[in-house]
Amino acid sequence: MTASRRTFAIISHPDAGKTTLTEKLLLQGGAIHLAGQVKARGQARRARSDWMKIEQQRGISVTSSVMTFERTDADGNTITFNLLDTPGHEDFSEDTYRTLTAVDSAIMVIDAAKGIEPQTRKLFEVCRLRSVPIITFVNKVDREGRACFDLLDEVADVLALDVCPMSWPVGMGGLFQGILDLKSGRVSRPEGGSKEFLGKVDEDVELPGEVAEEIELARAGYPEFDIEAYRGGDLTPVFFGSALKNFGVVELIDAIAKFAPPPRPQPTEAGPVDPGHKEVTGFIFKVQANMDPMHRDRIAFMRLVSGTFKRGMKLTPSGLGKPIAVHSPILFFAQDREIADSAEPGDIIGIPNHGTLRVGDTLSEKNQIRFTGLPNFAPEILRRVALKDPTKTKQLRKALDDLSEEGVIQVFYPEIGSQWIVGVVGQLQLDVLISRLEAEYKVEAMLEASPFDTARWIKGSDKALRDFADFNKMNLAKDRDGDPVFMAKSAWDVGYQQERNPDLTFSATKER
């Protein structure tokens, strides 16, 4: 069963065509019948919640979801694809990073006219950290774009990856005539939306002179596709196509089915857990507040790592210590949310809960396993939270704890003074914070400049921590879990303290 799962994400810079490609992938999988439904569903969902007004106003998607679809290949093998949507907006990188911990591979979408853009690169770096293999899709070849060699060189140079073109556009923009499969030599044509094979290049297709030359060069100039190098994250196969015109999309799905790795073992401190391990285990990579602001329930997204999950099963979250029964898990089929009866490694399960499940939690039957690798990132923006009505302190504390559990913000409680500090990776998270404080907790708060610029988790022996605290009380805080954090005035400050305190580590990420 596990061999038939492909759990992946699409990474791209905004506007490269991720939404369009997602729609087309789902269409191919028969999961939705009308293109445009991904967005339409999003809008219906947004209307349900107050805080999501921000999404509407800014026309971006803050929430991310999971889409499952199936496809049977020419040999009759059915593959289940789990596509994890990563929010495209640059502000929401932390959320996106975490989602990438739950996939086995990724598709990188590049706009043929633009090449590698900043967000593509950032997301790629996260994939590289975890050796997530990447298939590249150069999109929008129906429009005038940059030369293919140029784009391939850029991927190779900027990302330090071997590239292997799998297909080649025959002309671009107005001259676009179809796509050549470099291996088989067949050209598929976009006419009438369906494709037609013109035969072997060398035999019956007359390619324009330059194109034929280009293709000869392409065939000679790049290494053969090597699946091991791809799966190790060292080589990316590159496909050309047009999401809008639904061109090259089938080839892309086929490539995921054929080359992308099935569910991988996941790391724990005691060594990796294999998908074949009998015990049901998984980890929470995302928590999302329910759409209804009147109810505080949340959906925790768990990636199943091992075992066959059955509805009603009792699992113990590492953060809680006592088992919970998972009675109404949700599987995310694209058309609807369906109640899951069972799930296999690689699948994502939504678990409704009232705040007991947190990002980074491991769930397991025996409560002996802890997955690692789901970091909190040092916030890039810090703000002091001030209340308009000082009698609401308790509500504020509860709200900040809740929202930090969800991963919307991070919260720091300074050792000295009563003003709490929130940290975010992107500005937009602050708007979400204010809006949700008002809508869900009836707390009116203001965000003020913070005396600190960045934060680092500190680790060391009790004595080293105590000695440090004696001199730096003003700069110490506790995070939501009570772990010590050094609040720094600048990055320079961090370096300075690290040098003076070699017994302590100052870390920009924290793993739970």
Kindly list the residues in this chain that would bind ligand G4P in the complex (CB under 6 A): 12, 14-20, 88, 139-140, 142-143, 242-245
Is 200 annotated as ligand-binding? no
Is 85 annotated as ligand-binding? yes
Is 158 annotated as ligand-binding? no
Distance CA 19, CA 243 (A): 9
Is 199 annotated as ligand-binding? no
Write down the least CB distance from residue 505 to ligand G4P, Å: 38
Write down the least CB distance from residue 118 to ligand G4P, Å: 14
Is 59 annotated as ligand-binding? no
Is 141 annotated as ligand-binding? yes
One-letter amino acid of 348: I
Write down the least CB distance from residue 241 to ligand G4P, Å: 7
Is 221 annotated as ligand-binding? no
Is 367 annotated as ligand-binding? no
SS (H, E, C) 240-288: ECECCCCECHHHHHHHHHHHCCCCCCECECCCCECCCCCCCEEEEEEEE
Which residue from 186, 176, 299 is spatially nearest to 247, judged by alpha carbons?
A: 176
Write down the least CB distance from residue 59 to ligand G4P, Å: 10
> Which H or E run contains 391?
none
Residue 505 neighbours by CB under 8 Å, 6+ apart:
458, 459, 460, 498
Query: Which residue in the block uniquely carries the two structure tokens 């088992």?
Result: 323
Write down the least CB distance from residue 109 to ligand G4P, Å: 7
Write down the least CB distance from residue 182 to ligand G4P, Å: 20
DSSP line for 57-87: HHT------EEEEEEE-TTS-EEEEEEEP--
Toward ligand G4P, which CB reaches closer, 130 or 245? 245
Distance CA 291, CA 512 (A): 27
Toward ligand G4P, which CB reaches closer, 111 or 361? 111
Write down the least CB distance from residue 117 to ligand G4P, Å: 10
Report residue 498 CA to chain centroid gap: 32
Write down the least CB distance from residue 134 to ligand G4P, Å: 16
Q: What angle do CA 390, 394, 399 make, to 5 degrees?
A: 110
327 three-state secondary structure = coil
**Residue 63 in contact with residue 87, Cβ under 8 Å?**
yes
Is 13 annotated as ligand-binding? yes
Is 139 annotated as ligand-binding? yes
Toward ligand G4P, which CB reaches closer, 243 or 357? 243
Is 88 annotated as ligand-binding? yes
Toward ligand G4P, which CB reaches closer, 14 or 262? 14
Which residue from 467, 449, 288 is spatially nearest to 384, judged by alpha carbons?
A: 449
Toward ligand G4P, which CB reaches closer, 60 or 508? 60
Q: In what order do the strands lie in the sheet with 338-339?
A: 324-325, 314-317, 362-364, 281-289, 298-306, 348-353, 330-331, 338-339
β-pairing, 509-511 with 375-377?
A: antiparallel
Write down the least CB distance from residue 46 to ligand G4P, Å: 16
**Span between the terminal Cα atoms of the chain, in Å:** 30
Is 33 annotated as ligand-binding? no
Is 142 annotated as ligand-binding? yes
Toward ligand G4P, which CB reaches closer, 170 or 340? 170
* Backbone φ, ψ for residue 448 (5° rounding): -115, 165
DSSP 414: E
Q: What angle do CA 349, 354, 359 make, to 5 degrees?
A: 55
Distance CA 216, CA 201 (A): 11
Distance CA 308, CA 291 (A): 29
Toward ligand G4P, which CB reaches closer, 151 or 433? 151
Toward ligand G4P, which CB reaches closer, 59 or 76? 59
Toward ligand G4P, which CB reaches closer, 10 or 180? 10
**Residue 291 in contact with residue 330, Cβ under 8 Å?**
no
Write down the least CB distance from residue 39 to ligand G4P, Å: 8
β-pairing, 476-479 with 445-449?
A: unpaired
Toward ligand G4P, which CB reaches closer, 20 or 99? 20
Residue ranges of the annotated binding site are: 12-19, 85-89, 139-142
In the annotated binding site for GTP, the residues are 12-19, 85-89, 139-142
